[in-house]
Amino acid sequence: MPKLNFSAGPGALPEPVLQAARDAIEEIPELGISVLGVSHRSDWFRQVVLECEQHVRALLQLPDSTHVLLLQGGSSLQFSMIPMLLLRGRKQPAEYLDTGYWSAMAIPEARHEGAVRVLWSGREKGYRRLPSDAELAFSEQASYLHYVSNETVEGLQFKRVLGHDGVPRVSDMSSDFLSGPIDVERFDLIYAHSQKNLGPAGVTLVVLKDQLLEHAPSDLPTILDYRPHAERHSIYNTPPVFAIYAVLLVLRWLRFEVGGLTEMSAINSAKAERLYRCIDADPDFYQPRAATSDRSKMNAVFNLPTPDLQERFIREAEQAGLLGLTGHRSLGGVRVSLYNGVTLEAVETLCGFMDAFRERGGLGTC
Ligand SMILES: *Cc1c(COP(=O)(O)O)cnc(C)c1O
């Protein structure tokens, strides 16, 4: 039986994409050479970047006043580039939500550039839920608002847009970008690295409004300034050509095979419903971590009654060809990631294993 990949990142990619990537490593037919050796200054690669941009624009129905950038340094570099652009030299603090592991990684980087006000933190309670509107007193004067739309480690996902429309809204969507439609007009800057929903590791998509660049500080290192990347359509220095080509294959798949973000969202909802139904069948056995209303459609995190059962669950799942289920090193437990590349059939197979494992109380073998 083929192995199934539920890894939290780099995550599973659609089979047709993997096939096309394999072919491209052999040879790009138009060029007669491998994608691994194509110059980033070639017309062919320039077209690849432009086509990526077009697909992102079409999928999200982006207005012309936005840039779509393909950058390096992962989402972690965005933790720094954003406050360099929007906080350096500003008097008003930036507002951050501390809703999980990745929020907590972003906040200290912003503090290097200026004042940060943490509006709400779930840390003391172990990041098991997200704040309600009543708990969030946003300022209308903040330099910007930053939050993580989907906390990948804890499996918490916002189902609404936060903040004041007058304050630049910035969101780390690394683990749920293009998993469904987004109200893009309301975001000033969205970032998402490729390795969860969009492709292999190596490239980070940034969608930002033009006007954000108007007041960029003049002392930014060139490579950490969004403007040269925007002016040169993401070919400022040597970009990761293969990773970007793989992202293009995913974007084509999403647009033309899946049919777009509404369709993708329906598939993702069906997968998540199926998995949570299986978890909820006996919440004393598969013990979900996140508050029910804040559960993520992308990452489901749960514990088993004992460390021994947990270990056995992961080991037996691996033997059954179900890979990537170990929880984040900061939390332990089990984490199932249901990115776009994971099929409903794969989730059915996993649920079949989970039901059987539960019915025998983790004892014996299937
Ligand atoms: C995985 C992840 C990151 C880290 O991204 P890198 O590309 O490894 O820097 C940041 N934010 C979120 C929400 C993530 O899931």
Closest C-alpha to 206, from 107, 102, 67: 67
For residue 196, indicate whether it is catalytic: yes
Q: Looking at residue 330, what is its pLDDT?
A: 87
pLDDT tens profile 68-104: 999 999 999 999 999 999 999 999 999 999 999 999 9
How far from each other are the two terminal CA atoms of the chain, in whole angstroms? 16
* Best residue among 97, 152, 173, 174 to mutate for probing ligand 1, ranked by most atoms within 8 Å of CB: 174
d(CA 354, CA 317): 9
For ligand 1, whether the C-beta of 9 sits within 6 Å is yes
For ligand 1, whether the C-beta of 53 sits within 6 Å is no
Nearest CA to ligand 1 atom 14: 174
Nearest CA to ligand 1 atom 3: 75
pLDDT tens profile 199-229: 999 999 999 999 999 999 999 999 999 999 9
Q: Looking at residue 366, what is its pLDDT?
A: 53
Q: Is the pTM of this model over 0.95?
A: yes
pLDDT tens profile 227-239: 999 999 999 999 9
- Which of 132-141, 245-254, 325-334, 348-357 is least confident? 325-334
For ligand 1, whether the C-beta of 193 sits within 6 Å is yes
* Best residue among 7, 75, 206, 299 to mutate for probing ligand 1, ranked by most atoms within 8 Å of CB: 75
Question: Domain segments of the chain: what residues?
Answer: 4-9+260-360, 15-258
Into which CATH architecture does domain 15-258 fall? 3-Layer(aba) Sandwich (3.40)
pLDDT tens profile 259-290: 999 999 999 999 999 999 999 999 999 999 99
pLDDT tens profile 150-185: 999 999 999 999 999 999 999 999 999 999 999 999
User: Model confidence at 41, in pLDDT bands (50, 70, 90)?
Assistant: very high
Fold of 4-9+260-360: Aspartate Aminotransferase, domain 1 (3.90.1150)
User: Model confidence at 363, in pLDDT bands (50, 70, 90)?
Assistant: confident
Average pLDDT of the chain? 97
233 or 1: which carries more pLDDT confidence? 233
Q: Looking at residue 365, what is its pLDDT?
A: 66
User: Model confidence at 307, in pLDDT bands (50, 70, 90)?
Assistant: very high
- Map the chain to HEC letters: CCCEECCCCCCCCCHHHHHHHHHHHHCECCCCECHHHCCCCCHHHHHHHHHHHHHHHHHHCCCCCEEEEEECCHHHHHHHHHHHHHCCCCCCCEEEEECCHHHHHHHHHHHCCCCEEEEEECCCCCCCCCCCHHHCCCCCCCCCEEEECEECCCCEECCCCCCCCCCCEEEECCCCCCCCCCCHHHCCEEEEECCCCCCCCCCEEEEEEHHHHCCCCCCCCHHHCHHHHHHCCCCCCCCCHHHHHHHHHHHHHHHHHHCCHHHHHHHHHHHHHHHHHHHHCCCCCCEECCCHHHECCCEEEEECCCHHHHHHHHHHHHHCCEECCECCCCCCCEEEECCCCCCHHHHHHHHHHHHHHHHCCCCCCC
